[in-house]
Amino acid sequence: MKLNVGIFFGGFFGALGILLFLVAFGTDYWLLATEGGKCTRGPDDIGEEKMTFHHEGFFWRCWFSGDVGENTTNIWKFWYTNQPPSKNCTHAYLSPFPRIRDEYNSTSYDSAIIYRGFWTILMLLGVVTVLMAGFFIICAAPYASHILYKTGGGFFITAGIIFSLVVVMYVIWVQAMADLENYENMKKKDCPDFTVHVRYGWSFILAPIGIFFALFAGMLFLLVGRTIYLHSD
């Protein structure tokens, strides 16, 4: 009875972990950024405020211009329901945020691409690993082999560790490598009121939750495999 409970909760948490990893992997809301300000061309020019909105993920980085208007206090609704149909998108790993290739020197830009390349590889590896974990667990049911349960549990734990590295690398990317402060200072030369606001999106938030479920499921399946092994003697 206890073994059935362990398998049930292991499968439940493992399925949630796989689902959350796939959603985080397939959606483009790891980062939300808003930039804009009034740009004046002369002493008598009041200037027109222009806002540009960015969101990016594993596959795409998109940006579009617009006016939040009445949705200032409901920015989430603006992000997901009121986007203009004419937004621009490009491959995220080819155009890291911020979009300032001309302002960066080539060495800095190439370093950013390499860093994002490693992040991309880890993301793919994590997705493949968690799918393999689910495959081994399906093959192990019901009580077919303690080795398969242990292997599946090990893959779940490995996937959790890999996605932890993905999250850490992304935080380092946003906080240290994107160099948003210099970008903002450079833009203020032409637009004194220019500002950049960056926040993590829901795709990013799902990843740590998936990590917890994957690690928990992995430990449960390792325990199930050990229990089956002990009872088989």
User: In the chain, what are the domains?
Assistant: 2-28+98-232 (1.20.140)
Each residue's pLDDT, cut to its tens digit, for the chain (233 residues) gives 578 888 888 899 999 999 999 999 888 888 888 887 766 655 555 556 667 778 888 778 887 776 655 444 445 555 666 566 667 777 776 665 554 444 444 556 667 777 778 888 898 999 999 999 999 988 877 766 788 899 999 999 999 999 999 999 888 877 776 666 677 777 777 777 777 778 888 889 999 999 999 999 999 999 988 888 777 75
pTM of the complete model: 0.80
**DSSP codes, 187-233:** HTTT-TT-EEEEEE-HHHHHHHHHHHHHHHHHHHHHHHHHHHHHHH-
pLDDT tens by residue, 75-124: 555 566 656 666 777 777 666 555 444 444 455 666 777 777 888 889 89
Q: What is the pLDDT of residue 112?
A: 72
Q: What angle do CA 20, 91, 53 make, to 5 degrees?
A: 80
pLDDT score at 3: 80
Q: Which pLDDT score is estimated for 67? A: 62
Query: Tokens for 151?
Result: 């292997």
Record the tokens describing residue 56, joined without a space.
Answer: 């990016």
Residue 176: CB atoms within 10 A of its CB come to 8
| SS3 label, residue 110 | helix
Strand segments, DSSP code E, in 77-194 are 88-91
Q: Which amino acid is located at 9 in the chain?
A: F
Q: Residue 130 in contact with residue 18, Cβ under 8 Å?
A: yes
